[in-house]
Chain A
Amino acid sequence: DQQVKQNSPSLSVQEGRISILNCDYTNSMFDYFLWYKKYPAEGPTFLISISSIKDKNEDGRFTVFLNKSAKHLSLHIVPSQPGDSAVYFCAASARYNFNKFYFGSGTKLNVKP
């Protein structure tokens, strides 16, 4: 039973444009959400997070939006750069167990020069 879903396996974007990666979750107890970036043959690298008390968190070119009523979050990358090409994983944890992360299956982003 996959509690965190990323329904787009891949996304292709032109350099300089916006990349929008989406993530849905089913467990209403989730209240901490993270995005990780993963290059081939490397472990996931933490990118940005958001807690359920917020609906938006920004860090430079990266912004995460959280819509609790829809159980949906998205990652916006503006402007997209070729170095952003990687697999992006959405993850979530619940207040009763912050130490267990549930990951989506990932979206492979390709930013074309």
Chain B
Amino acid sequence: DTGVSQDPRHKITKRGQNVTFRCDPISEHNRLYWYRQTLGQGPEFLTYFQNEAQLEKSRLLSDRFSAERPKGSFSTLEIQRTEQGDSAMYLCASSPGTGGGAGGTEAFFGQGTRLTVV
């Protein structure tokens, strides 16, 4: 399967604990995105990488959230000191592209990591 892969699929954690999620994009895709989806809502943009550079961060991404893509391949999303409001589906997506100025293109999503903070 050469699609976007996310690990773990499910995570239950106690409030105050740190969690880290991993995303492996489609191998030839330069762009990688993190989205968050809560019940009854559509995905909300969190952050975006062009290769290893993090080019945009949403205001939704508080200081407790950090994302990395160290070698321009896989990415990690860490949440420190989790809160109950962090409970959501965290979606990773990737798309092809060679840099700024490229036209619109679809993003391919992984199956997501469902986080439950108790």
Which A positions have Cβ atoms within 8 angstroms of B? Answer: 4, 6, 31-32, 34, 36, 41-46, 49, 51, 89, 91, 93, 95, 97-106
Q: Which of B42, B91, B102, B103 has the most CB of A within 10 A?
A: B42
Asked, given contacts A34-B106, A98-B103, A99-B55, whether A43 binds B44 with beta carbons under 8 Å apart, the answer is no
Can you give 6 contacting A-B residue pairs, CB < 8 Å?
A42-B112, A99-B50, A101-B35, A101-B107, A103-B35, A103-B42
Asked, given contacts A43-B4, A49-B106, A105-B42, whether A100 binds B48 with beta carbons under 8 Å apart, the answer is yes
Measured CA separation A9–B109 after assembly (Å): 22
Nearest B residue (CB) for A51: B104
Q: What chain B residues lie within 8 Å of A98 (beta carbons)?
A: 102-105
Q: Please classify the interface of chain A as helix (H, G, I), strand (E, B), loop, or mixed, using the class held by over half of its residues.
A: strand
The size bracket of the interface on B is 20 to 34
Which B positions have Cβ atoms within 8 angstroms of A? Answer: 4, 6, 31, 33, 35, 40-45, 48, 50, 55-56, 91, 93, 95, 97, 102-112
Asked whether A43 lies within 8 Å of B109 as measured between CB atoms, the reply is yes
Asked whether B103 lies within 8 Å of A102 as measured between CB atoms, the reply is no
Asked, given contacts A51-B104, A99-B48, whether A104 binds B109 with beta carbons under 8 Å apart, the answer is no
Measured CA separation A28–B31 after assembly (Å): 25
Q: Which of B40, B41, B45, B106 has the most CB of A within 10 A?
A: B106
Q: What chain A residues lie within 8 Å of B111 (beta carbons)?
A: 41-43
Asked whether A44 lies within 8 Å of B41 as measured between CB atoms, the reply is no
Asked, given contacts A42-B111, A43-B91, A51-B103, whether A99 binds B33 with beta carbons under 8 Å apart, the answer is yes
B108, chain A: closest CB distance, angstroms:
6
